[in-house]
A = this chain, B = another copy of it.
Amino acid sequence: MWIPIQINESSAEPLYHQIETQLRSMIVSGQLGEGTLLPSIRELAGSLNCSAITVRRVYQDLENEGLLRTKQGTGTFVSKVEEEQRGTYKQTLVQEALEAAIDSAIAVQYSKEELQALFLEMIEKKYKAAGKGGNAK
């Protein structure tokens, strides 16, 4: 099983956090469906070129959040995520990020109009770059 995780080692963001964030997104967005068998700790650690202890922590944290479930001697699987929970999760995630962005704009006294213009410009660019035009539920 191959999982597309990007590590930015020059970032100040802790390794384990980068991995968690990406894995969590893939799970709640449904890209990793219920029951999917994740790579073993050693395997993922190897392919990310990081220590096993870091991956161990990631799996542990996500298991504590209820997103993963581990079966002794078998492996780590994606748990069932309720549709309702899924929606809440996604929205919370995005909302918090948007809130931070708007707050920073207010802090430097951007007008609402300026902020909107900047947002519209960026959203076009980024969605195009991501090769997605809109895959709504």
Point out residues on A near B: beta carbons under 8 Å: 9-10, 14, 21-22, 25-26, 28-31, 64, 69, 71-72, 89-91, 93-95, 97-116, 118-120, 122-123, 126-127, 130, 132-137
Q: How far is the CB of A60 from chain B (nearest CB, A)?
A: 10
Q: Which residue of B lies closest to A122 (CB)?
A: B98
- A101 contact from B31, B100, B127, B137, Cβ within 8 A: B100
Which residues does chain B contribute within 8 Å of A91, judged by CB atoms?
Answer: 118
Q: In the complex, A31→B116 CA distance in Å?
A: 22
- A134 contact from B100, B111, B118, Cβ within 8 A: B111
Q: In the complex, A129→B135 CA distance in Å?
A: 32
Which residues does chain B contribute within 8 Å of A120, judged by CB atoms?
Answer: 116
Q: In the complex, A25→B106 CA distance in Å?
A: 9
27 contacts between A and B (CB under 8 A): A10-B69, A21-B107, A25-B104, A26-B107, A28-B108, A29-B109, A64-B64, A90-B108, A91-B118, A93-B104, A94-B104, A94-B108, A94-B110, A94-B115, A95-B122, A97-B105, A98-B101, A98-B118, A99-B126, A106-B127, A106-B130, A111-B135, A111-B137, A112-B127, A113-B134, A115-B123, A116-B120
